[in-house]
Structure 1
């Protein structure tokens, strides 16, 4: 579910960006007057003397975007019940980070606008645009591992929920009590249907539309309806009975194909999966490729001529939005990540280092969909309206650029995983304290002219990047041998120790290097179930020796600590710490120099 969500959102970024560019071109073309005229075209429904009408922009913002927030509700419901939000320790860090990423931007904005006409726009820089953020992470590629995407997705979910609460509380102009009572009654009816387990789509569609109209008339923004309905949609894990029935139906269709058997197999397979997941699968493409781009087309158009740019350059609204997104988000999310880690309130998913976390904090300043949404609610003055939009565009572009720079620096400068609390100023030994012995895992000739000792971690992304480089180095240099020693960063990579234990179990059967290669080739899949699968592939079963394996790993860690290893990967070439780049050319040059000097 998570991978499918990420693929859909990241893939739709190009469409969303195209719609944004088209809106800007339209608003700055010779036909700029048609932009606002078109989106103010009224459209409505009439039933006899009763009529309900909105302009096109409000149909998009209040109507279509309800589907977008409905999907957020579905995702929240799924993650809380079956996904990552079940683990409170995994929720704590991104939740506090999301809170920090809202408070600091709002505070920066108010510092520049408090008491002025733009103060009401403090909510504009608080929200992160998930689609754009994941699109930037897709461009970042290998520098951003899946755990960071999962961390930012959890952060974005919390961010969206808090943003919707802010919209409902602070951006509701007036309340109509009769309409609000009607909305509450319709919502109670939907809850009753769910409690009675009546799953008739027409009933939910009719009640849902009525709830949307009543909420709109009440003065509360109807997007709140979307997230509430999404949370109410039933979600469950497939039961063994449903899976069995689905399997039997598919087997029956395979043995005796017919239209009736196909229909029954389809029905039973669908019933094995919750309504929540089926709706996400159907609606995500529509939301990502149609609804959100239409929203961008309807709202991103702003005149970028000399007059508006000069006004924005001196506008505290534009500066407040831009600084809130670029600086506020970065500081707020970074501080909100550090605090729970510092006080032990939660943990991070594996494969994350501070360079990646800071890069994620920077790109989280890309605020677009919800930011534009709040602009429409907050400002009636056209000048403030345009300045806020320019601030959003400038802040989002700068956040994307800052994030890309940080990811590039984190990857290219050092390329080493180190715990967040490592001591960078420590004077470290340069010599290997424990020479290579019979207990080591060695790949290569015993009389090799060059010995490379690697202290590695099976979950470290930089070790994963180094793995094929060392293989290529050995292939080109038969007189080089590779020694692997364990250095699992326990506070940073929660699955590294288990992976190391499995590799030692394989070593008992003479298959260490086979398991070593499997673990690095499947580095993103190191759950207990994954490790059991890899062990079964190699017929590894010596689990009674786990205490001995743990002690063996501990000896590697002790030798690494004594040799000054504080991060992974760390290399020693012929017993001397290697300080060069972790690329094939740099290591090859170092090997050639050692070969010449020996």
Structure 2
């Protein structure tokens, strides 16, 4: 059993992200209003309040602001590190060809803003603040995309999330290399030893959670004392935590334990089953699920509350409007992100280093690039460590807030104008991605004049019956028609459909797609992984290679299925089977006679 990483409810995920962005925006508004209210002194006094503890003669204390920025924000960078590690190990960035465009675009989105900032601030104390303009706030970016709600946002959203991962890697590297000073060697050596210890924790037979917690806290203290920014301890820990896709054998053993517990409930079976369920999922994924909500709904709003407070007095605003620092930040984030990401995307496509996902256009990238100028969390974070003068800090905060507003307005304008100039096609009436003989699964003459495309899944009984009628349709038209199959696994009602689609794609890598597909259709009620391995052997697959493709390098077959799923989402397809006849959606029955009649009606006329 190999559950897919994509089996999560996408709508629930988007709702959570939008809510998190809303909390972040609310905390920002509260900070600004509080800092400019009659109670402004209470705001600044809160930030300077000292908290800590004493142990004998030793004391440890931080201000509330530093406790959040240096302590709680470690959890933010920890979760970012987990996401980065997961993406490079089992996610979007495992397929280097797929990742090429957003990776190059992200690199340009880091470099061009910094260059624009340094052109405007070529000297003075503000020069050191170039790191403020390099990073995009992912939470606000996804929230802004949801608010604007352009047509067909699914592919753009995935592109921007991939770009954001690379953007985060760059921002973390910049903090480590350029914003850590007064390095002390001995604590740094202790930190190095602790990192080695953390790397070995995965091999403990039990108690890994407490071991990670204890050594992680020790690493944070050592990093803090070494002069390296302590939040980077979170990144170091995250990169050393195991990440993997669930293994079939482990999951099946756990199922056996659960079955034993059901037959004979007792504490021994309960503990064993609980441990098996927990260990079948990688620690990385479990920690993301555990800490992610706290970071989104607590840590980041608290960070915004203590960092977004800026005195918007007439004097502050006047100074900010005349300040090269403010306009350097605005120019870097708004223009730099837009020019860097859009230009790099165009260039990478033009010279053939990468390609955009099907259905994703450069004008969509331009709108997303504009929204990427919303720099908030890491921008405010770097202001604190790059600028010492409080007045310059206020000017920089004004620049970040103004840039974020302008970036949103620019993105909104680009999406609205391009949709007006080139209105999108009505959803679902036309095939969004043309048939590609080099990519699609085709039965019949690849150059035939008639095309029948089916979106379906292997667990759907109606798809099975429809596929049975396809033979009659193909026999009727002969070489004049080609039949194309694309995946649309409806996991809510067909829980094994996604895995079956992956198995078919693994067989396709050995030239056995149609043999495997027909076998899967013949056994819609027997689609456990043990069954599908048996089918792979029966159709003549090399079982070691098949296992390797679905388990170790599962991302390739998963991406192939996910591409079809995303096309279906763009066209708002929600039932199987769904047919397209010569590129137009078929309405009505899908029996052989109805499909023949529909194809005849679209047959090109001959002299």
Which category describes the TM-score, using the shorter chain as reference length? 0.7 to 0.9
The yes-or-no answer on 1:272 pairing with 2:218 is no
Distance (whole Å) between structure 1 residues aligned to residue 452 and residue 379 of structure 2? 48
Corresponding residue of 1:503:
454
Corresponding residue of 1:67:
75
Corresponding residue of 1:95:
103
Question: Secondary structure of the residue that 2:228 maps to in structure 1?
Answer: coil
**Paired positions, count:** 481
Distance (whole Å) between structure 2 residues aligned to residue 238 and residue 205 of structure 1? 24
Corresponding residue of 1:327:
335
Q: Check whether the contact 1:101–1:329 (CA below 8 A) recurs between aligned residues.
A: yes
Q: 1:415 to 1:266 in 2, by over 3 A?
A: farther
Q: Check whether the contact 1:112–1:320 (CA below 8 A) recurs between aligned residues.
A: yes
Distance (whole Å) between structure 2 residues aligned to residue 486 and residue 64 of structure 1? 45
Residue of structure 2 aligned with 1:220, choices 210, 221, 228: 228
Corresponding residue of 2:212:
204
Distance (whole Å) between structure 2 residues aligned to residue 174 and residue 286 of structure 1? 32
RMSD: 3.7
- TM-score, normalised by the number of residues in structure 1: 0.73
Q: Check whether the contact 2:375–2:404 (CA below 8 A) recurs between aligned residues.
A: yes
Distance (whole Å) between structure 1 residues aligned to residue 94 and residue 350 of structure 2? 22
Q: Displacement of 1:518 after TM fit? A: 9.3
Distance (whole Å) between structure 1 residues aligned to residue 259 and residue 17 of structure 2? 35
Q: Displacement of 1:502 after TM fit? A: 4.9
Corresponding residue of 1:529:
501
Question: Secondary structure of the residue that 1:51 maps to in structure 2?
Answer: strand
Distance (whole Å) between structure 2 residues aligned to residue 199 and residue 510 of structure 1? 61
Please show how residues 43-442 of structure 1 align to structure 2 within 5 Å. 43-141=51-149, 143-194=151-202, 199-256=207-264, 261-416=269-424
Q: 1:55 to 1:261 in 2, by over 3 A?
A: same
Q: Displacement of 1:521 after TM fit? A: 11
Q: Displacement of 1:196 after TM fit? A: 5.8
Q: 1:233 to 1:518 in 2, by over 3 A?
A: closer
Distance (whole Å) between structure 2 residues aligned to residue 317 and residue 509 of structure 1? 71
Q: Displacement of 1:118 after TM fit? A: 1.2
Q: Displacement of 1:22 after TM fit? A: 0.6
Q: 1:502 to 1:526 in 2, by over 3 A?
A: farther
- TM-score, normalised by the number of residues in structure 2: 0.72
Q: Check whether the contact 2:135–2:167 (CA below 8 A) recurs between aligned residues.
A: yes
Distance (whole Å) between structure 2 residues aligned to residue 365 and residue 486 of structure 1? 30
**Unpaired stretches in structure 2, ≥5 consecutive residues:** 456-466, 478-482, 491-496, 506-513, 524-538, 540-580, 585-607
Residue of structure 2 aligned with 1:488, choices 421, 425, 434: 434
Q: Check whether the contact 1:350–1:495 (CA below 8 A) recurs between aligned residues.
A: no
Q: Displacement of 1:198 after TM fit? A: 6.2
Residue of structure 2 aligned with 1:11, choices 19, 26, 43: 19
Q: 1:382 to 1:267 in 2, by over 3 A?
A: same
Corresponding residue of 2:604:
none
Distance (whole Å) between structure 1 residues aligned to residue 340 and residue 66 of structure 2? 32
Distance (whole Å) between structure 2 residues aligned to residue 570 and residue 244 of structure 1? 44
Q: Check whether the contact 2:452–2:484 (CA below 8 A) recurs between aligned residues.
A: no
Q: 1:163 to 1:331 in 2, by over 3 A?
A: same
**Unpaired stretches in structure 1, ≥5 consecutive residues:** 417-461, 468-483, 545-568, 573-598
Q: Displacement of 1:252 after TM fit? A: 3.3
